[in-house]
Chain A
Amino acid sequence: MALVPITILLPLVVGALLYALPRAPLDGVYPEPSRRARGDGWLARVIGVATAVATFAMLVAERDAQWSVRWLSRPFTAAFHFGATPVAFWIALLLALCTACAIATTRVARTRDFVALLLMLEGTMLGLFLARDLLVFALFWDLMLLPVFFGLLNWGEHPATAWRYFIYNFAGGLTLLLATAAFGVIYGSTDVIGRTGAPLVGAWAPWIFAGFAFAFLVKTPIWPLHTWMPPTYSGLPPPMVAVVSAVQSKAGLYGLLAIALPLLPNYVHQYALPLMVLAAVSLIYGAVVALVQNDAKRVVAYSSLSHLGLIVIAIASLNPLAIKGAIVYIVAHGLFSAALFMVLGYVEEREDTRSLLRLGGLGWKNPRLAGALCIAALAALGLPGLAGFVGELVILIGVYQAGYTWPVVVALIAIILASAYLIRLYQDVMNGPEVEDLPVRADLSWVEGLAVAPLLFALVALGVDPAPLLRL
Chain B
Amino acid sequence: MTLPFVHADWSAVVPVGIVAATALFILIADFFAGREGQRYVSIGIGLIGIAAAGYFAARQFGHNYDAFFGGFMVGGFATVFQEIILLAAAGSLILYATIGAPQRVAGMSAIMLWSACGAMLMAGAANLMMIFLGLELLSLGLYALCAAVDRKTARESALKYLILSSTATGFLIFGFALLFGATGSIRLADLVNPYLATSPYFWIGAGMFLIGIVFKLSLVPFHTWTPDVFEGAPLPVTAFMSVVTKAGTLAVFARFIYAALPPDTAEGLLLPVWIVAGISMIAGNVGMLAQENLKRLLGYSGVAQIGYILAALAGSTPLGLRYALYYLVAYAFMNLGAFAVAAAISGEDEEGAQIASYRGLARRRPWLAAAMTVFLLALAGLPPTAGFLGKILILSSSVASGYVWLGALLIIGTAISLYAYAKVIRVMYAHDAGEAHAVRPFVPLAWVSAAICGVFVIAMTFYPLTPSNVLPLVR
Chain A residues with CB under 8 Å of chain B are: 19-20, 69-76, 80, 135, 138-140, 142-143, 146, 149-150, 153-154, 159, 162-163, 166-167, 170-171, 174-175, 177-178, 180-182, 184-186, 204
Contact = CB atoms under 8 A, between A and B. Distances in A.
Contacts of B469: 72-74
Closest 7 CB pairs of A and B: A181-B395, A181-B396, A139-B383, A75-B396, A174-B411, A182-B399, A185-B396
B163 interface: no
B415 to A, nearest CB: 5
Contacts of B414: 174
Contacts of B396: 75-76, 181-182, 184-185
B400 interface: yes
Q: Chain B interface secondary structure, helix, strand, loop or mixed?
A: helix
A142 B388 contact: yes
Contacts of B316: none
Interface stretch (B123-131, B186-194, B418-426): B418-426
13 contacts: A19-B366, A72-B466, A74-B469, A75-B319, A75-B396, A75-B468, A153-B429, A159-B426, A159-B430, A166-B418, A166-B422, A170-B382, A181-B399
Nearest to A71: B464
A238 to B, nearest CB: 19
Interface string B13-51: 000000000000000000000000000000000000000
Contacts of A204: 399
B474 interface: no
Contacts of B395: 177-178, 181-182
Given A142-B388, A159-B432, 9 more contacts: A70-B464, A72-B466, A75-B468, A153-B426, A159-B426, A175-B411, A177-B395, A181-B392, A186-B399
Contacts of A184: 396
Contacts of B383: 139-140, 142-143
A72 B415 CA distance: 25
Contact of A170 (B384, B415, B466): B415
A260 to B, nearest CB: 19
Given A72-B469, A140-B383, A166-B422, A20 B388 contact: no
B384 A162 contact: no
A153 B419 CA distance: 14
Contacts of B388: 139, 142
Contacts of A166: 418, 422
A177 B392 contact: yes
A162 B415 CA distance: 15
Nearest to A73: B469
Nearest to B404: A182
Contacts of A138: 392
A210 to B, nearest CB: 12
A69 B366 contact: no
Nearest to B394: A181
A178 B395 CA distance: 6
Contacts of A20: 366-367
Contacts of B397: 75
Contacts of B408: 178
B422 A149 contact: yes
Nearest to A171: B415
Contacts of A71: 462, 464
A140 B384 CA distance: 8
